[in-house]
Structure 1
Amino acid sequence: MEDPLLLGLVIAVAGVIVIVVINTLAQRLGVAGPLLLVAVGLIISVLPFVDIPPIPPEWILVGVLPPLLYSAAVKLPAIEFRRDFGPIAGMAVVLVLVSAIVLGVFFWLVIPSVSLPVGIALGAILSPTDAVATSIAKRLGIAPRVVTMLEGESLLNDATALVLLRTAVAAIAGGFSVWGAIGTFAWGVVAALIVGAIVGWVVLMLREWIGGAAANTAISFCAPFLAYLPTEHLGGSGLVAAVVAGIVAGQGSRRRLTPEQRLSDNLNWRTIEQVLEGAVFLVMGLELRDILEQTIADVGSFGHAVWQGVWLALVALAIVLLVRTAYVSLVVWGQSRRADRLDRDRLTHFSERLDGLEDGSIPFPQGRGAPSDPARQQRRVDTMRTRVNRLIADFDYYQSQPVGWRNGTILVWAGMRGVVTLAAAQTLPREGIDHRALLVFVAFLVALISLMMQGFTLPWVVRILGLANTGEESPLAGEKARLDAALRAASAQALSSTELRKHDGAPFTPQLTERLRDQMSAPPSDDRSAVAREMLELRLISITAMRRSLADLSHGGSYSSATLRHALAELDADEMSLRLRLEDE
């Protein structure tokens, strides 16, 4: 096929079909789809009659990673992310720096032609866990807290690794300075936070103004690139900017977007995720032959190239896992100390004192800086109550989901390397680095061995540790029941208003509002009998009140992000169903 455009189209179509078929087959076999896609890519790459053109690493770093990280950030459980931001940031920054330095010293000592800056550059490439590879762990039913820590780490550590890589490359060219490196890293993070937050907010406002679900989803596809490109131009981390934009958009969608828009986002982004995730793993396998041929040309023989690459990769992976084990051990110890420092009885006592201040049984303290106006006193009490309730919820969270040695083992073993490692390795400069092809081959083998070894054995490790999902009732079931009761109470209170009006402005009859209020106050029923148009309109008012209450409840930390997200999806589905039925009336 001589036409390169037509050839590219054929390859793209064939790739999508292979991704869909392999993922479907993996589900039926009970195996992670990405692992099978890597294996298929490896098989295809060694076929003599298949010629896959080299894929520029920029396609992965610029074209694939921003939307994947943005989509993961939109769904990031913000409450749990806040609670464990300390250990997440530590693993994303400190662990990457320590791992890169230790690896850099190793490569500097064992490869005579490799300088320390080159070794640290390769160490920076091998240190971060891969956000796409970490998705394998999410399918195993392990503790949500562990999943959040893994996901948060993998979303943020790419920035540390890429900034460190740039610094090491500058040192190779003779332009390194410690303060310059620190300033570059600080600016990379600050620029990403500012640009990502602005882009996320602007896109959210634009989508609210546009209204249409299809057009909204099209705008959301542009958001990660709108955050990535200007941040990279300013010298910041475009990947972190895409993550920040996704977090802002995800948290604001509950208030700003309609149920149709959220449903459209969910379905279309799931399709994009499946295709892009599958593509990066398939590409990872397909690049074996090209990388091996370059290594053979560099080293001199097939046997020598394979031996050099394999033993360097195995030792490097062992170093990465040992450093990670030591650091995660510190995290586990620190989290146990953190939970012990919280005193729930003291917090409960303080909450009772706030109750006394509110009902007047305890006088408000007077003194310098104390508000004398009753309204200001009430605002002060409300602020303090919010903080205390949040601390109590955090305490309950830490107690119910402790990070013990078993979960610590999962944190170590689920930290896999992936296609980001391979793409970053291929950005190493061709000038000033001896045996560059060998270093790229080592990075490829580390990513491949980590992904296949840890990915295939992770389900076995989860079962051995007794952390597998046994099919019992979810621990979130009780939490969901409490949230449903709170939302029904908010609905009943809204229906008690005497100012409710139909779409034409006429009031509802008291008998109708009483009937629906009784229904919402009672536990849900499976009764699906037809209702009148006025009852449908009242139910829409009820859903609006429950959604408003849900937004307020989400700030207190008493409910997990998974429970809140599920409740919002239920309200969205109910509202869309009611509006369709109203259109038929």
Structure 2
Amino acid sequence: MALFENMLVLMLVAIIFLQLSRKLAVPYPTMLAVAGVIVASLPWAPEISIDPHLAMALFIAPALLDAAYDLPPRTIRRDWLPLLSLAVWVVILTTAAVAWIGVSLGGLPLAAAIALGAIVAPPDAAAAAAMLGRFALPRRAVAILQGESLLNDAVSLLIFSAAVGVAMGAASLTSLAPQLIIAVPGGVLVGMVLAGISMLFSSRLSGTLGGTLFEFVAVFGTWIIAERLHLSAILAVVAFAMTIAHYVPARQAPRTRLHSYSVWQASVFLLNVLAFLLMGLQARTIIRDLDPQELSFALSFAAAVFLTVVVVRIAWVFAYNRLMHYFQPTQSRFPRPTLRMSMVVSWCGMRGLVTLATALALPDNFPSRELIVLSALAVVLGSLIVQGLTLGPLIRLLGFEPDKSLEKDLARARLTLIDTAISELNARDDQAAASLREFYKEERVLVADGHHPRAISKTDQLRLTLIAAKRTKLNAMRHSGAIDDDVFHALEQDLDFAELAASPPEKLEIIDG
């Protein structure tokens, strides 16, 4: 009951803070981190621990699903060089640098130091995306940053799993290579196979609450099955999500898709809240149990880890910038990164859910666990507060030219779709077809002028006005007793779908926070 009560308090505090984050243009994970620390520091907050295996499955699987679903394979093929630079080399260099700090300054065993490096290595795309979405930055750069979040999670988690296995005596360096040779491709294959099986069942459950619940069973089941087979659960979920994302949208009904997106978005957000609360509670216990001298050393070590994480990313991003300008031809499939864009990318290193979850996944008897957990929390809080609060001002200071390519691509695609609809209607000459032809012609003129048809279409504005009048009358009929509630709810749903159909897309989106 204590955990549930504190979860409610944290959610309430988070909701209040998230309203401030939108007004102050601050990434919502920054406010969430602050809220988690505040609630964890309350005197009545309980002492709670979580099973390491549960922490990995509960927090990591949805985070990987969320990132992998939005990363098409063609993005990886197109931008493999910058993605390799950010998702592989930065993770490896950060892990190595932090491991050196852990061994030389913290006195950690090598495997434990590598585990710490892997924990703090992967940035969280959600924090950066929450801020980058407010600015018209180059689309390709934003896509690379989002792709980085998935691939660096996979790389860092593989290193983390190997390091934990060695530190706990469950594996040795000589046995890791053969295991990875089987676990990596095996995990990918299992994820793709389970995605195919999942699609067979989900098509039968489409549009039902059971279908939504089955999505959770499929995602977490993929993780568990891969683990039982001693394969990479991380890559299994990534392969599962990318396969689903490629095939399911064309087969999914709009209502089912909107419902699924909203449920998963709320679930991932709730898991973020829970992760910050659990991490804050563990850090409070650690700080309370340390004597002043040990606490001073732990905080100094955590600060050194945070500085190392920040400096390594900045150094590598600018080194990559210079290497690309030196070796890359002017005309190339990989455009040379500008100095301004490199500054933004180097500062988009906020850590979040994956770092918290991997720290929580450390076994209770792991070497120097308290120091690692405290350092991980310090990196998350430091990056979200220092970098999260300064990323927006940095972007404004650099003065990027607005990237209008998305609007242009949308306009071209909309014209193609409208022309397709008009060509279908030309085969008919009834009154309904004539009415729709006039509607699409109005839309085509608006789109050709660079406007969104739903934003200013007179037809849709009139539809929304009439729907509002119908809704007022429907509410009056319900309150007067002219209709029963079952009739009211059926007609309310009809009006809801009609209003969604006549509304601009931004009205359909659920805003973070």
The TM-score range, normalised by the shorter chain, is: 0.7 to 0.9
| Counterparts of 1:77 and 1:517, CA distance in 2 | 35
1:448 aligns with 2:443: no
Equivalences for residues 420-499 of structure 1 within 5 A: 420-429=354-363, 431=365, 433=367, 435-467=368-400, 474-497=404-427
TM-score, length of structure 1 as denominator length: 0.68
Paired residue secondary structure (1:486): helix
Whether the 8 Å CA contact 1:121–1:165 is kept in 2: the answer is yes
Instruction: Give the match for residue 145 of structure 2.
Output: 150
Instruction: Give the match for residue 351 of structure 2.
Output: 417
TM-score, length of structure 2 as denominator length: 0.77
- Identical positions, percent: 27
Q: What amino acid does structure 2 have at the position aligned with 1:119?
A: A
Closer, same or farther in 2 for the Cα pair 1:576/1:307, shift >3 Å?
closer
Residue of structure 2 aligned with 1:309, choices 298, 308, 332: 298
CA displacement at 1:25 relative to structure 2: 3.6
Residue of structure 2 aligned with 1:42, choices 8, 13, 37: 37
| Counterparts of 1:280 and 1:200, CA distance in 2 | 27
1:528 aligns with 2:459: yes
| Counterparts of 1:453 and 1:193, CA distance in 2 | 37
CA displacement at 1:487 relative to structure 2: 1.4
Whether the 8 Å CA contact 1:150–1:415 is kept in 2: the answer is no
Residue of structure 2 aligned with 1:254, choices 249, 254, 265: 249
Q: What amino acid does structure 1 have at the position aligned with 2:310?
A: L
* C-alpha RMSD of matched pairs (Å): 3.4
Closer, same or farther in 2 for the Cα pair 1:490/1:69, shift >3 Å?
same
Q: What amino acid does structure 2 have at the position aligned with 1:420?
A: V
Whether the 8 Å CA contact 2:165–2:172 is kept in 1: the answer is no
1:159 aligns with 2:125: no
Closer, same or farther in 2 for the Cα pair 1:86/1:512, shift >3 Å?
same
Closer, same or farther in 2 for the Cα pair 1:528/1:139, shift >3 Å?
closer
Whether the 8 Å CA contact 1:214–1:264 is kept in 2: the answer is no
CA displacement at 1:123 relative to structure 2: 1.9
Which ranges in structure 1 are unaligned for 5 or more consecutive residues?
Answer: 1-5, 343-394, 498-507, 532-572, 579-585
Paired residue secondary structure (1:256): coil
Residue of structure 2 aligned with 1:122, choices 89, 95, 116: 116
Instruction: Give the match for residue 321 of structure 1.
Output: 310
CA displacement at 1:92 relative to structure 2: 2.4
Paired residue secondary structure (2:63): helix
| Counterparts of 1:422 and 1:485, CA distance in 2 | 45
> CA offsets, 1:134-153, max 9 Å, x none?
44444442433333222222
Closer, same or farther in 2 for the Cα pair 1:220/1:429, shift >3 Å?
closer
CA displacement at 1:430 relative to structure 2: 5.2
Closer, same or farther in 2 for the Cα pair 1:18/1:244, shift >3 Å?
farther
CA displacement at 1:427 relative to structure 2: 4.0
Whether the 8 Å CA contact 1:100–1:123 is kept in 2: the answer is yes
Closer, same or farther in 2 for the Cα pair 1:129/1:185, shift >3 Å?
farther
Instruction: Give the match for residue 341 of structure 2.
Output: 407
Q: What amino acid does structure 2 have at the position aligned with 1:446?
A: V
Deviates more, 1:76-85 or 1:405-414: 76-85
Paired residue secondary structure (1:340): coil
Which of structures 1 and 2 has the bigger CA Rg?
A: 1
| Counterparts of 2:200 and 2:320, CA distance in 1 | 39
CA displacement at 1:225 relative to structure 2: 0.7
Q: What amino acid does structure 2 have at the position aligned with 1:317?
A: F
Q: What amino acid does structure 2 have at the position aligned with 1:452?
A: I
1:98 aligns with 2:28: no
> CA offsets, 1:269-311, max 9 Å, x none?
23223322333334433433112134x1xxxx22x22321222
CA displacement at 1:229 relative to structure 2: 1.2
The ranges of structure 1 where at least 4 consecutive aligned residues each deviate by more than 6 angstroms after the TM superposition are 573-576
| Counterparts of 1:480 and 1:425, CA distance in 2 | 42
Instruction: Give the match for residue 203 of structure 1.
Output: 198
Paired residue secondary structure (2:227): helix
| Counterparts of 2:69 and 2:125, CA distance in 1 | 14
Closer, same or farther in 2 for the Cα pair 1:92/1:315, shift >3 Å?
same
Deviates more, 1:404-413 or 1:244-253: 244-253
Equivalences for residues 392-403 of structure 1 within 5 A: 403=337
Instruction: Give the match for residue 560 of structure 1.
Output: none
Closer, same or farther in 2 for the Cα pair 1:46/1:273, shift >3 Å?
closer
Instruction: Give the match for residue 373 of structure 1.
Output: none
Residue of structure 1 aligned with 2:188, choices 193, 216, 224: 193
